């Protein structure tokens, strides 16, 4: 192969990736381009292509690939800062470090050190503390360190914005999560208004928000609004595995409103993502929601359900008939095992508590029929 | 002296005008649209009272003698306004300071009239409205409003002979370019081109009709080919493209009618096509996106809707139930077109697939009947060239496919030489389409294939051959142990290929992580280790030696174990490079030492044999 050949191939792959929506195909095209550039030892090209791969992997549901690509770029920028632009990497470091706790095989110590490292990096870039405080708050929250989370929350909310802080829509969405954690549903929904009314948005907002407000709306018996959020929100996320956890929220909502058949359609469509998703936290959310959904199936005294599940599913049946009890047992075991891994790593009981919350959801069931057509936005 | 009182708007008019021009309207030219809209509404209201009334809109450009900015006179023979209605539209203007209120007022005739007039203040400082209602006592009223918020209402000193409304706009110095004859003609045609009544433009005493008669899809044609030609010509005029076909569109929900044009090029995957939409024959938007289902990105449309709700800015449709149903119907019309092509004109369908395969695939995924119809025409890339799944199944009962480019590249050449057909399903929708096959055709079988499985299809060695290569296997296993690579020897085609390196997608990712680890500092290096440890246990990669390859046969007979080891290492590195697999630092060292070693051995051997030849 001539030198011209592989450069053209890289171009073609980049062009193809540029035309694709976020997802596996796009990530694979960019990985292929990275390998070509690596094979031919072109560091600059390899850096540029990885830069795009980090984005595609982050927003396409492959946080492991984002981490690996980022580690390589960071190493190059450290070795030769003159040659490799590290400004864009600053942003990406935030995405990557923010997802570290999704991997139970990354230790607490590694996470803490990565947080200290990004703090120093940001200080050198003359950025304020706001972005770091949010990362620390979110990590503490995800890892179940409640007192520490509260402490960082207070500091984050008070810190001034600067050039490396998240956009307002993202910040707002994360604030909403905090109020939901505390059970402050009315407050969460009040804060969500600018997002739900379309006045504040970005690449992942309102996609995420529509999912997180479903439970608060249900608890406040605002079912019509909840239905609209489901009908508007689900199509936004249904084709991107980055939103696996949000799919879980929609499944939980459908089970809570007794729309079991609709819930199973989502389960059937997205189980494949959960089987090999790199984010174990997102897998947990999905499997926990699925276990609640399947418990509703059993509560209706149905022994079997017909589902088109992927071949990679360990209980796969070619004819598509599954015992509800077995399915439920399988997803529940997944959720339990993942919870145990996280709680062991974190040294807290957060995931145990999340499992308990799921087990008690049957008390919140509120039947509400959902029609196909979405209401006005 | 007539009753004459100067009034003042109860609001900050400047603020409302700012709101309109910055948030609601995309350009000041929309004042023509708003005036046309008012005239259209007035004519339609009069038609309800007097069926058979045709209606005419007259636009006149009155140049000033002194060269100052011209005046535009916009008149209609519609229903006109009574004094009470004038006060009502003024009240609307008063309430219009909120965007939400504006949107609501749009839906009522009087409210729309007031808001439409307000838009004129984007281009002029003073407005005069002279109007006589069909309904009232026959008096002619006039309203004079200024941008500073003052206005007066009084009976006109120049009564109108017939009911209708005249609006006089005096251009501002800075907006004069919107008041040239050509610009006014363009704007009126742009917004009102489909209106079913005449728009007449008078400039310097001569009058001409601006618009032709209504929408081209509503006209009568001699034949269907004439119709097609006329519509394609219209598409060219509107979008500047030579489209390859046109498809009639109709939906009772939303009362939508129009035509879709098939793009002559493959659109970008994500590009939402921008459609031109009219509401009650008035141009609403040239960039409406939400009109068609997601999969239908192979067409651009022009449609008129009589019963869809516009958004506050009147530049797209409001997302509601009616729109959802209309979208469904329009999608059905496009589906019908594709279905008929598949049944009646497969060649045309194939041409369309070549350009718009993604649209066709997206629809096939959503729709089982359509899938059944087109799957026989959709081409897939395979190790044996392009073919459809139907052709594939004629050769082999089970469709084997790989879902990544990486896998396909690994298997394509060798699989082809073995006569094994494997589909490259790495392209968008292809894996989903293949996996759908057994759901639609219950007798079909599909099976994911991985590069790791390929060696299983290779021919095994005979017992004697096994004995012969045993030393090679032992040496190779030991040599490749540090690289977590297993070894096998089999017979496969093409025989020019000495070895085949195969690993699954997980294995490729592991190699990526290992390279990142080599580059990283302790912190990120340790994280790479954790990722490698936590990743699902993948099968180890496999290096399969090809016993049909002469070099491999010769290598198996070499007695010098050191030479055998170096050769194995070099074949390993070569297999990696042939598979576009970047080398790790360790592998790079292998390559360097190995090359030097082989050169040295060759030089030694060369000198020996050279000397031997001398004797």
How many whole angstroms separate alpha carbon B360 and alpha carbon B340? Answer: 13
What's the CA dihedral at B195, B197, B202, B207 to 10 degrees? 130
**Is the same domain home to A1 and A28?**
yes
Helix and strand counts by DSSP (H, E) for chain A: 18, 2
Q: Are residues A272 and A347 in the same domain?
A: yes
Task: Residue A36: list chain B partners with CB under 8 A.
Answer: 580
Domain boundary among A24, A54, A85: A85
Of all helices (H) and strands (E), which one includes residue A153? helix A146-158
Length of chain B counted residue by residue: 615
Residue A307 covered by a domain: yes
**Residue in chain A nearest B516 by alpha carbon:** A72
Domain that includes residue A146, residue range? 100-164
- The residues facing B257 across adjacent strands are B250, B304
CA distance A362 to chain B (A): 32
- Candidates A25, A34, A54, A81: best to mutate against B (most CBs of B within 10 A) is A25
Q: Tens digits of per-residue pLDDT, A157-188? A: 988 888 888 888 889 999 999 999 999 999 99
| Distance, CA of B260 to CA of B302 (rounded, Å) | 7
Contact criterion met (CB below 8 Å) for B79 and B49:
yes
Residues A319 and A298 in one domain: yes
Please count the structural domains in chain A.
4
Whether residue A370 is contained in a domain is answered as no
Residues above pLDDT 90, as percent of chain A: 74
Q: Is residue A49 part of a domain?
A: yes
The DSSP bridge partners found for residue B202 are B60, B207
- Statement: residue B79 has pLDDT above 50: yes
pLDDT one-digit tens code per residue, B522-542: 999 999 999 988 766 567 889
Closest by CA position to A230, among listed A214, A209, A208: A214
pLDDT at B2 over 50: no
Average pLDDT over residues B104-111: 63
Is the pLDDT confidence value at A349 over 60?
A: yes
Q: List, for residues B199-228, the tens digit of each pLDDT value.
A: 999 998 899 998 877 788 988 899 999 999
| Model pLDDT for residues B26-59, shown as the tens digit of each residue | 677 888 988 998 999 899 999 999 999 999 999 9
**Residue B534 in contact with residue A91, Cβ under 8 Å?**
no
Q: Which residues of A touch B268 (CB under 8 A)?
A: 19
* Min Cα separation A40/chain B (Å): 8
Looking at the domain assignment, is residue A112 inside a domain?
A: yes
Interface size, chain A vs chain B, as Cβ–Cβ contacts under 8 Å: 115
Write out the two tokens for A316. Answer: 């796969």
Nearest to B318 among A25, A310, A376 (CB): A376
H-run or E-run covering A321: strand A321-323
Residue B235's region, left for phi above 0, alpha for psi from -120 to 50, else beta, is alpha
Domains plus CATH for chain B?
A: 5-209 (3.30.565.10), 216-349 (3.30.230.80), 378-455 (3.40.50), 458-504+539-606 (1.20.120.790)
Residue A92 lies in a domain: no
Q: Determine, yes or no, domain membership for A91.
A: no
* pLDDT of B85: 85
Q: How far is B290 from chain A (nearest CA, A)?
A: 13
Q: Report d(CA A18, CA A3) in Å as an integer.
A: 23
Q: Are residues A223 and A274 in the same domain?
A: no
- Residue finishing a domain among A25, A57, A85: A85
Q: Are B251 and B323 in contact (CB under 8 A)?
A: no
In this structure, are A249 and A360 located in the same domain?
Answer: yes
Contact A95, A121 (CB under 8 A): no
For residue A11, the distance in angstroms to the closest alpha carbon of chain B comes to 15
Angle between helices B405-417 and B505-519 (to 10 degrees): 130
* Shortest distance, CA A361 to any CA of chain B (angstroms): 32
Residue A94 lies in a domain: no
Do A44 and A131 fall within a single domain?
no
Weakest mean pLDDT among A175-179, B294-298, B546-550: B294-298
Q: Does A117 contact B523 at a Cβ distance shorter than 8 Å?
A: yes
pLDDT at residue B9 tops 60: no
Provide the pLDDT for residue A230.
94
Task: Return the half-sphere exposure (C-beta side, CA atoms, 13 A cut-off) of residue A100.
Answer: 32
**Looking at the domain assignment, is residue A149 inside a domain?**
yes
A window 305-324, beta carbon within 8 A of B: 308, 310-311
Does one domain contain both A226 and A247?
no
Q: Is A75 on the interface with B (CB under 8 A)?
A: yes
Q: In which band, very low, low, confident or very high, does the pLDDT at B607 lie, cut at 50, 70 and 90? A: low
Residue B257: pLDDT above 70? yes
> When comparing pLDDT for B160 and B601, which is higher?
B160
Picking from B171, B153, B142, B139, the residue whose alpha carbon sits closest to that of residue B70 is B171
For A31-49, what is the mean pLDDT? 92
pLDDT of B613 reads: 39
- Complex ipTM value: 0.91
DSSP state of B164: E
Determine whether the interchain pair B534/A106 forms a contact, defined as Cβ–Cβ distance below 8 Å: yes
Buried b (16+ CB within 10 A) or exposed e, B312-331: bbbbbbebbebbbebbeebb
Q: What are phi and psi of B143, to 5 degrees?
A: -125, 130
Instruction: Looking at the structure, tell me whether residues A250 and A302 fall in a common domain.
Output: yes
* Three-state secondary-structure class, residue B516: helix
Burial class (CB in 10 A: 0-12, 13-18, 19+), B461: middle
A77 & A157 share domain? no
Domain boundary among A52, A85, A118: A85
Confidence of residue A248 (pLDDT cuts 50, 70, 90): very high
Assessment of whether the complete model's pTM goes beyond 0.80: no
Q: CB-CB: which of A76, A79, A376 is closest to B320?
A: A376
Residue A1, pLDDT score: 44
pLDDT(B98) > 60: no
The better pLDDT of the pair B537, A292 is held by A292
């Amino acid at each position: 192969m001539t030198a011209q050949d592989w450069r053209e191939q890289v171009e073609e792959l980049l062009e193809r990736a540029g035309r694709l929506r976020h997802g596996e195909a796009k990530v694979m095209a960019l990985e292929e381009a990275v390998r070509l550039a690596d094979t031919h030892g072109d560091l600059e090209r390899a850096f540029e292509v990885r830069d795009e791969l980090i984005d595609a992997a982050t927003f396409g549901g492959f946080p492991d690939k984002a981490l690996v690509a980022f580690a390589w770029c960071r190493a190059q920028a450290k070795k030769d800062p003159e040659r490799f632009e590290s400004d864009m990497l600053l942003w990406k470091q935030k995405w990557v470090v923010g997802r570290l706790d999704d991997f139970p095989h990354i230790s607490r110590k590694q996470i803490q050190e990565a947080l200290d490292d990004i703090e120093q990096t940001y200080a050198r870039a003359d950025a304020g503390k706001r972005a770091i405080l949010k990362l620390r708050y979110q990590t503490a929250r995800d890892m179940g360190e409640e007192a520490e989370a509260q402490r960082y929350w207070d500091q984050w909310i008070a810190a001034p914005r600067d050039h490396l802080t998240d956009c307002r829509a993202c910040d707002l969405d994360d604030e909403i999560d905090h109020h939901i954690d505390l059970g402050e549903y009315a407050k969460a929904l009040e804060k969500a208004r600018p997002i739900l009314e379309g006045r504040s948005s970005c690449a992942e907002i309102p996609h995420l928000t529509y999912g997180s407000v479903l439970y608060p709306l249900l608890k406040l018996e605002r079912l019509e609004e909840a239905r609209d959020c489901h009908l508007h929100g689900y199509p936004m996320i249904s084709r991107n595995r980055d939103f696996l956890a949000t799919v879980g929220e929609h499944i939980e909502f459908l089970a809570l409103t007794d729309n079991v058949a609709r819930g199973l359609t989502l389960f059937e469509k997205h189980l494949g993502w959960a089987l090999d998703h790199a984010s174990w936290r997102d897998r947990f959310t999905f499997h926990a929601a699925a276990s609640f959904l399947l418990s509703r199936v059993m509560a209706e005294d149905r022994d079997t359900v017909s589902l088109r599940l992927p071949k990679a599913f360990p209980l796969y049946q070619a004819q598509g008939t599954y015992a509800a009890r077995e399915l439920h047992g399988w997803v529940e075991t997944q959720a339990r095992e993942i919870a145990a891994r996280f709680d062991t790593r974190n040294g807290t009981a957060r995931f145990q508590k999340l499992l308990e919350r799921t087990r008690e959801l049957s008390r919140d069931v509120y039947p509400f029929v959902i029609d196909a057509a979405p209401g006005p936005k | 002296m007539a009753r004459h009182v100067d009034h003042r708007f109860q609001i900050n008019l400047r603020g409302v005008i700012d709101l309109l021009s910055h948030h609601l309207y995309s350009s000041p030219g929309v004042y023509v649209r708003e005036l046309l809209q008012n005239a259209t509404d007035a004519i339609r209201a009069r038609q309800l009272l007097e069926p058979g009334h045709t209606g005419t809109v007259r636009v006149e450009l009155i140049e000033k003698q002194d060269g100052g900015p011209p005046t535009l006179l916009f008149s209609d023979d519609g229903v006109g306004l009574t004094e009470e209605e004038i006060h009502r539209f003024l009240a609307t203007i008063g309430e219009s300071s909120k965007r939400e209120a504006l949107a609501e007022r749009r839906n009522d005739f009087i409210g729309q009239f007031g808001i439409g007039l307000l838009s004129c203040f984007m281009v002029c400082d003073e407005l005069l409205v002279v109007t006589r209602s069909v309904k009232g006592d026959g008096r002619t009223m006039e309203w004079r409003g200024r941008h500073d918020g003052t206005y007066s209402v009084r009976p006109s000193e120049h009564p109108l002979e017939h009911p209708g409304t005249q609006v006089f706009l005096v251009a501002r110095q800075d907006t004069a370019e919107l008041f040239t004859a050509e610009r006014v003609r363009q704007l009126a045609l742009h917004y009102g081109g489909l209106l079913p009544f005449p728009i007449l433009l008078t400039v310097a005493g001569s009058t001409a009709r601006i618009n032709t008669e209504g929408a081209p899809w509503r006209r009568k044609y001699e034949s269907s080919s004439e119709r097609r030609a006329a519509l394609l010509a219209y598409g060219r005029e509107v979008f500047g493209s030579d489209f390859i076909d046109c498809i009639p569109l109709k939906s009772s929900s939303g009362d939508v009618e129009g035509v879709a044009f098939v793009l002559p090029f493959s659109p970008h995957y994500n590009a939402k096509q921008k459609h031109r939409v009219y509401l009650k024959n008035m141009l609403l938007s040239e960039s409406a996106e939400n009109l068609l289902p997601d999969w239908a990105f192979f067409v651009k449309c022009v449609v008129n809707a009589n019963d869809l709700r516009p958004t506050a800015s009147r530049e797209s449709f409001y997302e509601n139930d009616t729109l959802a149903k209309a979208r469904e119907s329009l999608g059905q019309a496009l589906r019908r077109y594709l279905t008929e092509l598949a049944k009646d004109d497969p060649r045309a369908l194939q041409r369309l697939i070549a350009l718009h395969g993604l649209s066709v695939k997206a629809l096939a995924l959503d729709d089982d009947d359509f899938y059944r119809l087109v799957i026989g025409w959709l081409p897939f890339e395979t190790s044996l060239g392009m073919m459809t799944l139907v052709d594939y199944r004629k050769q082999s009962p089970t469709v084997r496919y790989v879902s990544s480019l990486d896998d396909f590249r690994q298997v394509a050449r060798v699989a082809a030489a073995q006569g094994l057909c494997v589909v490259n399903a790495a392209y968008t929708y292809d894996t989903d389409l293949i996996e759908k096959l057994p759901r639609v055709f219950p007798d079909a079988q599909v099976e994911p294939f991985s590069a790791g499985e390929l060696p299983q299809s290779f021919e095994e060695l005979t017992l004697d051959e096994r004995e012969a290569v045993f030393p090679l296997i032992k040496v190779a296993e030991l040599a490749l142990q540090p690289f977590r690579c297993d070894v096998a020897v089999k017979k496969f085609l093409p025989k020019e290929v000495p070895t085949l390196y195969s690993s699954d997608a997980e294995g490729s990712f592991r190699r990526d992580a290992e390279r990142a680890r080599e580059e990283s500092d302790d912190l990120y290096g340790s994280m790479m280790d954790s990722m490698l440890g936590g990743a699902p246990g993948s099968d180890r990669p496999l290096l399969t030696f090809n016993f049909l390859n002469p070099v491999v046969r010769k290598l198996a007979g070499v007695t010098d174990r050191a030479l055998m080891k170096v050769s194995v290492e070099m074949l390993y590195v070569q297999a990696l490079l042939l598979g576009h697999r970047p080398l790790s630092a360790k592998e790079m060292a292998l390559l360097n030492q190995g090359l030097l070693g082989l050169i040295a051995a060759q030089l030694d051997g060369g000198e020996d044999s050279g000397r031997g030849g001398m004797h």
